[in-house]
Structure 1
Amino acid sequence: MSVSLITRINVAVQRLKQSLIFAFGHPPDAFCLAGIEVDRLPQKGPQWSLKDVIGDGFLWAQPKSRRSLEKRMKRRYGHPDYIMKILTPRTDLRTCNVCGDDHEAGVLCPTCYKKVIDETKAMQDAIQNELKLEPVEKEVVVLYEGEKDGEPEEFFEGKRIVEMKRERPSWFSKNLLQKSTQKGATTTEVKPSELG
């Protein structure tokens, strides 16, 4: 990008130089070749160069020195003698109903979610210890202490059971593990009218 910028500036300077030479100096050779009378064009003025106009170089809008920390803080927070930019309190904080910690609105409470992360990690470890790294073709059911007695034996047929050696947490309800009530599709063909 910097190369293209330098090229554009170079082209612009060359065009400016050509137009200034044509306006104040001798005409380009192209007019002589085209048959235009040179005598009718403006006469040569005093000799000057583009270097006289530009000098040592272009002046870019760059800061000469670093802005001090005091000036940066004054710009950010204001100054008591002139204007004071008061820190505005946040209005998007909410208190969790379960644990009482504060969190942003629209975001899960991090303290409560940490419990979910820990419980999920414990379940994953129990599954890995029970099933090792073998491929699992059957459905895996995770049961807590005392849950196996409440279900009939037909419920566990064709399933692999992983038991957790502790009670189910109160916030982790049992019906989260239930499958959807919809029946699976009987055909593999889907018509365009049945997509929506």
Structure 2
Amino acid sequence: MPLDSATIVRQVLQLHADAVERWHGQPLDNPYTGLLGVVCQQHQYNFQLWHEEDIARRTDVTDAQIAQVKRNIDGFNQRRNDWIERIDETLLEMLESQGVAAPESAPLNTETPGSAMDRLSIMSLRVFHMEEELARPDATEEHLSRVEPKRQRCVLQRADLSNSLQELLGDIFAGSKRLRVYRQMKMYNDPTLNPQLYKTQRKAG
């Protein structure tokens, strides 16, 4: 894939929108390769996380079911963050293959491209479900009047974030900004770092 920020952002946005619509009617798939394949996998975890979060708010299921859903959420969230890092790692590999190396004096950004793509992934889900709410046959005028402004705000936020991501990638590809992979280091999922886990294991031993 060429280091073209406008093309990459456009393809990521299209992937997010197409996949969200497709996955609501068929099983999860990933027909992409390279950077887009990594973006799609990361997007899948957001898709799964979104729907588990919906289930977690139900009051007509057992506590045991909710406990399992909470564990599912934790797992999807961990993998979502792992794959944000993989997006950034893939971009670094692309930079290296193209011989792009920013000087140490080049500034870093407060957010990596992977984090921005994660936010765009979530925004695509938000827009899809807002539009789903607008299409509900039982939707009242009051409901529609509440949802439509939110949908418009989401569309605007997605456009703003897309533009910012394109600018960031352009700077990174030009070597005027550095890209660094930031590790999430979720301590609660590490049995050697979460005292609730390692103390329990010690007692069991």
Query: Higher relative CO (CA 8 A, sep ≥ 6), structure 1 or 2?
Result: 2
Normalised TM-score (structure 1): 0.22
Q: Highest Rg: 1 or 2?
A: 1
Higher-strand-fraction structure: 1
